Structure 1
Amino acid sequence: MSESTTAATDLTSHYTAQVASDLERNIKEQERISGDIAALQQQLAALQHDHAVLLNMQQALGAAPAQPEAEAPAGSTTVPAPRRKRGAKEAAEQPKRGRRSTSAARRAPGRESSGRAAGKAPARAAGGAKAKGTSEGPKLVDLVRGHLAEQGEPRSAAEITRALGAAHPERAVKITVVRSTLEGLVARNRAQRSKQGSSVFYSAPDATAPDTGEGDASAS
């Protein structure tokens, strides 16, 4: 009974000494890290001070534009933008310009009406010319056939749509219309369709492929 008590006492003493040693080492480590943090904070404060001084010198020399106020460190000064003064001056002169234009319009109402009519007429003429030029452009089916003839390998409907859209930015080329046009060409033996996995590709027909003789659809 006395031997077990002695063993328990020795074990307790061993753990007590171990815990005391670990506790002392933990305290020393905390003190070391606290010292490092304090030193780093001092270095950071010195760097921030130097940055503010250098920034003020740079702004005074005019070597670079001032940084935004949100990014400028503490202690830096911000030079007011001169364009604010110009904006205030323009805002003060704007009512005067409005009164001058109103007086001129009252003095010559006939000229203003004729000027508006003259401006609308060229605009309508330009719009009509643009619409006429679009209607006289090549058909989508011709563009698709020409693109397939230029390619050396099969292309998907998405690739053909992107290529035609880049070549003809004035046209609204949609993949649904391009796919319908391709299927129509395949039905008339003017294009070939192949599959690679789940993807469908189209290519120009072989030289020996028969032609059904049907007219091309006028897709636009």
Structure 2
Amino acid sequence: METQDVIINKEKLVKTIYDLGSVKCLQDDKNCELLLNFLLNGPLTFEDIKEAFKSVNAQKSDKTIYGYLNRLKKAYLVMEAGKRIITYSESQIKTLTLYSRTAKVFYIALDLSGDEEEDKVDDYFTVIGRITCQLLNFKKFDEACFRKFYDETTQKKRIDIEEINNISNPEILDLVATFDIRATKYVLDTVCWLAFIGEYPEVYQEMIKCFTK
């Protein structure tokens, strides 16, 4: 018997998640999270996944596992990566679907966006502005100016995250992939803010235009 894995769709290093439904799938469904963890080491067949659940004393029915896979596929977190071809003889060949993560690392990019109620977003900016005023000894801030600054820096940060896919040292992201969702967001947020400040040292001067003494 010979076995060959044919990979057609290869996972990215980092995938940015903008959809609230995908975020809930990542954060709220422990079984989906467990399945994603099984796929960290590479593509698996349905039977591989079934055995993986058994190995952690979380045996599931075929219907239940297919339900997890369908939910993860709809959330663009899992994809059909290719086929496993099992050759028993020249006349007997079996083909199985391989499933994989769409990315080694998932980054949640929901910041102060339309996924929150507008009144709540207003409160966020009010709190951010007032605290910043206190820390930097300003008296007031221009909320419209600060929102524009925030939107521009957030957009640049997200571009930096996509550029992580060009890193030639995948061992780093293999390590990041072992972190939970919150830790991953913290690490990538910090990296991108540092990269942003390094590339645009004038960022402080741009920010304080939104504040007055």
Tell whether the structures are fold-level matches, with TM greater than 0.5: no
More strand by share: 2
Rg: which structure is higher?
Answer: 1
TM-score, L = length of structure 2: 0.29
The TM-score with structure 1 as length reference comes to: 0.28
Higher relative contact order (CA 8 A, sep 6+): 2
Bigger helix fraction: 1
